[in-house]
């Protein structure tokens, strides 16, 4: 008899919230939840540009974990919203070190999915001595092949109708570089232009994130587009336009720096946003990674099989000596 899939832990509220001035005009929102004496873990949200939510707190046993969630530069509750200046992968790695020092911990567990996995890898390969372990989901490493799959050729063959909605916003002469074409619009002086581009950009991602039930974006095809949605699209596009400030293949090439770090990789078999080949290649280069392929699942952390494996992983680390 198959055991039932696990559900998230009950909802909790932070015992502390704050803002950290990281310089460059940026202030990060952060919150601490769970047990102040528990195992320190930092949750790294996706996007880039989305922000952490109350649902992410529920991935960890609050009796065992000291849970840090924060909104990365320019997104969520951090300020200024949508700012692109001084907002790169390496700024965020430095921000994580500031947050670790704020907590007063020597080592912590990293938890990240999609872009959050990218940031976790960038941090861990820079500061391996600060990492007690990693739980990664839907691994994205920023290689040109991964970006091309989602924005040039690959995913569009599985979702031609949704792809048409994305490229339909762009004149034919600009369609050879969708990321660059959207950058022009997402950085336009006219908010209406930015809003229309943000709607199309986020709708494409939302339509492909789950296997069995396509989600619609925050606004669908009607209604006002919020500043938060524009900020998300601007920041994500900004990172992709700049190849995430990573050298080609850097994160897998430097995976040898993870040699002493235990980890769990959770991957949906039918993940369209971050196909399984990337996480598989990472696992081959990282011997201490426990690779969990989830059948019948796409990209989202909330898909039942993926959520089950993530909860199992957080419990495993909490029980470790």
C-alpha dihedral, 313 to 315 to 318 to 319, nearest 10°: -110
> What three-state secondary structure class fits 214?
coil
Catalytic site residue from 50, 78, 114, 279: 114
Catalytic site residue from 26, 56, 299, 308: 299
Catalytic site residue from 50, 271, 279, 308: 271
Inter-residue contact 78 to 49 (CB < 8 Å): no
CA distance 204 to 224: 18
DSSP assignment of 76-124? TTSBSTT--TT-SHHHHHHHHHHHHHHHT-S-EEEEEETHHHHHHHHHH
> What three-state secondary structure class fits 267?
strand
Whether 308 sits among the annotated catalytic residues: the reply is no
Whether 53 sits among the annotated catalytic residues: the reply is no
CA distance 88 to 126: 15
Inter-residue contact 320 to 132 (CB < 8 Å): no
DSSP state of 254: T
Residue 15: how many other CB atoms lie within 10 Å: 14
Whether 91 sits among the annotated catalytic residues: the reply is no
Nearest one of 304, 310, 207, 259 to 5, comparing CA atoms? 304
Provide the pairing of β-strand 263-268 with 131-137. Answer: parallel
> Which residue numbers are catalytic?
114, 271, 299
């Amino acid at each position: 008899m198959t055991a039932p899939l696990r559900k998230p832990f009950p909802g909790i509220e932070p015992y502390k919230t704050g803002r950290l001035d990281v310089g460059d005009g940026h202030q990060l929102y952060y919150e601490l939840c769970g047990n102040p004496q528990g195992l320190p873990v930092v949750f790294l949200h996706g996007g880039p540009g989305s922000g952490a939510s109350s649902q992410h707190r529920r991935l960890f046993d609050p009796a065992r974990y000291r849970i840090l969630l924060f909104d990365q530069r320019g997104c969520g509750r951090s300020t200024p919203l949508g700012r692109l200046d001084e907002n790169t992968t390496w700024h965020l790695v430095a921000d994580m070190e500031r947050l670790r020092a704020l907590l007063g911990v020597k080592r912590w567990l990293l938890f990240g999915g999609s872009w959050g996995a990218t940031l976790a890898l960038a941090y861990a390969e820079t500061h391996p001595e600060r990492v007690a372990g990693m739980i990664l989901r839907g691994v994205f490493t920023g290689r040109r092949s991964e970006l091309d799959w989602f924005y040039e050729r690959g995913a569009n063959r599985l979702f031609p109708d949704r792809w048409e909605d994305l490229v339909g916003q762009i004149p034919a002469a600009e369609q050879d570089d969708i990321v660059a074409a959207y950058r022009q619009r997402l950085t336009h002086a006219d908010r209406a232009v930015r809003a229309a581009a943000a709607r199309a950009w986020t709708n494409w991602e939302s339509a492909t994130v789950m296997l069995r039930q396509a989600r619609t974006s925050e606004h669908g095809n009607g209604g006002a587009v919020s500043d938060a949605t524009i900020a998300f699209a601007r920041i994500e596009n900004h990172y992709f336009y700049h190849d995430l400030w990573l050298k080609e293949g850097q994160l897998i090439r430097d995976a040898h720096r993870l040699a002493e770090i235990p980890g769990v990789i959770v991957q949906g078999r039918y993940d369209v946003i971050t196909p399984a080949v990337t996480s598989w290649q990472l696992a081959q280069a990282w011997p201490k990674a426990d690779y969990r392929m989830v059948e019948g699942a796409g990209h989202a952390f909330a898909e039942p099989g993926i959520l089950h494996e993530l909860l199992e992983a957080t419990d495993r680390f909490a029980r470790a000596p």
